[in-house]
Structure 1
């Protein structure tokens, strides 16, 4: 009997197709389920970030309005929602600082710096918190670390200059402020500080030049009190007493008069030979501070100045 040769048929081949289809279907379902779970997780995480940013913005708005309780509450929730957000951490630190929780503010700012990878602005801000708390070694450490990493970062030099000025190290302060000014010429406060340093170094002419640069940064008539005061004190140091009086009066008209400024005014009026005006300023000084040392010195000088004036008129 002849045998027909041809392809051999596997007895299981008739079941291979349906099984393969079943496996593919199951695999597809599994992938779909995994994909849905991943999508769900990603969506939830994204929503947490969105909610955190919204809470942060609301917290910052409350902080700017001075509503510290609400600001702290909102920013605490924002931090919990997104703990690695640098902006949220730093603003939460600001809220704590303004509420008087210095240690809490420092801890949060340290975390913000770590997360940011040593952002220079945050390093200097932490230094300022230390500075305001009187913790000068820690403030100096922040300033020096920022300068070491970012040597052209002007605010770090400004902080270093303020620390030197706090110690009355006028030469070091001047050097720091000059470096700051070289990196940020449009920073008016540095020129005011530089002028104050130069005045204390008995360099009134250089101080006046620095004040001229600072004055250019403000529209006419909008100079801040700090600038007007320094202009008055520098003019006094340069022997320009009448100009000093004008600046000191302008400063007190813009801000609240103080025994310090009023006694300076009395001193300048007396040096300018305007005895009646000096007496008025002296009365204002002693009414605010009866024990004012400069005021008492001027009170002793006025009779002598009046006597000299009478002798001059008799000649």
Structure 2
């Protein structure tokens, strides 16, 4: 005996609610009051009509999902509505993001391109394409894609923070600050936004405002190496060396919190700042150790080597000063000359003859650096 539509809908309704033993309800064959009341209590006319429409929509949706042949590809997807396209675009975007995090930028860009071909209104695909283009040095194209991602996401703070960072790196400070302000209006508890706001204030030469923003970021995320280093740099510019050292004492250099939301941290930056502070406070021997550590962590930086050359001159070790100066000259000739060194005179003169400002070098002082840098650290090129 065939089951009526109403009985089938009631069966589905009871089954979805967890009832195991379901008996189909039959329409009353007579008009006995008790039977009619029982039927109307369980199933109303409006409930039956509503459930029937839901079942029909579900059936049509399942038909769409099961009738696309595997060989149809993206062209087949385009025939079945935007929702299907969005699902495919999100899947491709996730794969592209995974490839990007693994450093496979070529594969990532290909996947993001395919995602945008499927659906041009997927904000994650635009964000991923922006990162790929930024990594290739195509700044303007990257910013255009990220602006589109912000528009499609209705102002997602994560997209806006990244867009503000890109604006700042290309010198569009006012636009970066505006993006940051809008994002802060919707999320004031994200430390990366306050870090970006601090960087905008540094670019505007508002150091006190920048410090306030950095302190707010550290109150939300105490282990934040990027912000701690930026704070220490401001203290260095303000000659507040005790505060600089106190800030870096809380720095966890192994903290893995650096991502695409901030600028990259220069290797050895913390040791370089510590060395400068120690030297200014008269703790020369400790400063030498920090400068050597900084030079070891960043073989391409000339600043730590110039500091070591200057200390060697002050301590009466001209041979070591010449060695460090020669290394700095190979790495960054412009910075070496801007530091006030008469490079031609120093590198052409026998050790111990000429010091900066035409002074003489007394070699009787106790040595601070015991051996030649090249001999003690063969990793230096």
Name the TM-score, length of structure 2 as normaliser: 0.63
CA contact 2:244–2:277 (8 Å) conserved in 1: yes
1:242 aligns with 2:297: no
- Cα distance in 1 between the residues matched to 2:125 and 2:330: 48
1:90 to 124, 127, 131: 127
> Superposed, which structure 2 residues align to 1:105-144 within 5 Å?
105-144=142-181
Aligned counterpart, 2:221: 184
More helix, by proportion: 1
Which residue of structure 2 lines up, in the alignment, with residue 8 of structure 1? none
- Is the contact made by 2:223 and 2:255 (CA closer than 8 Å) also made in structure 1? no
Larger CA deviation: 198-207 vs 77-86: 77-86
**1:86-235 alignment, distance < 5 Å:** 86-215=123-252, 218=255, 224-235=267-278
SS in 2 for 1:296: coil
SS in 2 for 1:202: coil
8 Å contact kept, 1:75–1:88:
yes
Q: How much has 1:204 moved relative to structure 2?
A: 0.2
Match for residue 63 of structure 2?
A: 40
CA pair 216-226 structure 1, distance change in 2 beyond 3 A: closer
Pairwise CA RMSD: 3.4
Equivalent position of 2:301 in the other structure:
258
- 2:325 is the alignment partner of 1:282: yes
Matches within 5 A, 1:4-23: none
| Conserved? CA contact 1:270–1:302, under 8 Å | no
Answer with 274-283 or 98-107: which moved more.
274-283
Q: Is the 1:263–1:295 contact (alpha carbons within 8 Å) kept by the matching residues of 2?
A: no
Structure 1 range deviating more: 267-276 or 108-117: 267-276
> Cα distance 1:279–1:139, how it changes in 2: closer, same or farther (>3 A)?
same
Partner Cα distance (1:32, 1:247) in 2: 72
Contact kept in structure 2, 1:275 and 1:305, CA below 8 Å: no
1:254/1:174 CA distance change after superposition, 3 Å? same
| CA separation of 1:168 and 1:266: change in aligned 2, threshold 3 A | farther
- Quick one: distance in 1 between partners of 2:159 and 2:235? 29
Task: State yes or no: 1:304 paired with 2:327.
Answer: no
1:172: how far off?
2.5
Q: What is the CA–CA distance in structure 2 between the aligned matches of 1:168 and 1:237, rounded to whole Å?
A: 24
Q: Say if 1:227 and 1:34 are closer, same or farther in 2 by CA, change over 3 A.
A: closer
1:225-272 Cα offsets, whole Å, 9 max, x none, are 222222222223333222222112112212224333211221233345
- Kept in 2, the 8 Å contact 1:244–1:268? The answer is no
Of 297-306 and 90-99, more deviation after overlay is shown by: 297-306
Residues 262, 284 of structure 1: 8 Å contact kept: yes
Question: C-alpha separation between the residues in 2 aligned to 1:163 and 1:303?
Answer: 42
Report the 3-state secondary structure (helix = DSSP H, G, I; strand = E; otherwise coil) of the residue aligned with 1:306: coil
- CA distance in structure 1 between the partners assigned to 2:316 and 2:130 by the alignment: 53
After TM superposition, give the deviation of residue 35 of structure 1 in Å. 7.0
> Residues 97 and 258 from structure 1, CA distance in 2 versus in 1: closer, same or farther, beyond 3 angstroms?
closer
Counterpart for residue 293 of structure 1: 338
Inter-partner Cα distance in structure 1 for 2:182 and 2:295: 39
Structure 2: distance between partners of 1:66 and 1:228: 28
